[in-house]
Chains A and B, each alone.
Chain A
Amino acid sequence: MSDALAVPHGHGHGHGHEHDHEVGCTGLHHRKIMMWAFLGSDCMFFGSLIATYVAYVGKSPIPPVPYDVFDLNVTSISTFVLLMSSLMMVLCLSAIQRNDIKWFRVWCAMTAFFGLIFLGFQYYEFSHFVSRGLTLKSSLFGSTFFVLTGTHGTHVAIGVLWLLSMLFFSYRTGFGRERALDVEIAGLYWHFVDIVWIVIFTVVYIVEFVVGHPGG
């Protein structure tokens, strides 16, 4: 039997009875299970938004249509930025697991910074679309596109705030290896935001350019 199996209720970890209630019979931390359950439910949430976009794309007669306003260069760069932020997030977790606070802070700050860059690209894209007459109320395409990508952008913004608050508390309180679970849970959320964008980038943007004509 492994050491891990021998301590299913947290004994021997130096955290006392507090942790007795945080690890159940699965041997998994309740908060981690909760986070995965939340991410599963968020899949359904984004699934419905993507479904709505996909169902209506090309059915709106009111211009502009996706092909007229999408800028593949801008979206490709912002996609790359978000992918790299995922790498930084996992390096951030790796650092805290090694109890390397300095590099934890570096990677945490870089992840949040890349998240802000992504949000900057999204602000630029939205502004450009509005200047071309595409708004939340202007057409089916506008409604479904802004609700989908806006919801994703909101998730990114929440993730950035989460990372910055972690960074802030790493200076104020004793922050070390024992907080690795907190970082891991924040990381799960951040990576989820990344995988949702992987789907949006393909389904919303790339497919539109493959079809290659207005209306998709």
Chain B
Amino acid sequence: MPATIEDEQLDVTFAALANSTRRAILARLAEGAATVNELAIPFNLQLPAISKHIKVLEQAGLVVRGQSAQFRPCALDPAPLEAVSAWASQYRQIWESRFDQLDDYLVLLQQRKQGENKS
């Protein structure tokens, strides 16, 4: 499977999620939109720090900003998370198929072993 645009998007999503503050921000936004000021309070972070995290989440497509010029509230966009789910299900199929083959191979090996013991 050559790298595709989807893979690239997944890398960005995973990178954005690989930070406990950003996951906490998403969990907060899952409960409703919030301004940067509102988000800063529970995380005990300065505004520039929280803005930086939100920018990463925005670039990953996980957060969208409102157009209201003064506050620009942040809202969660769950679409990239659904792509993560697809990543997992794709690998699940591959691994299930591998485990089927492993099962068959182990049976074969043990049959061979038994055959050798008999002869």
Physical interaction between A and B: no
Give residues in B with beta carbon < 8 Å to A.
none
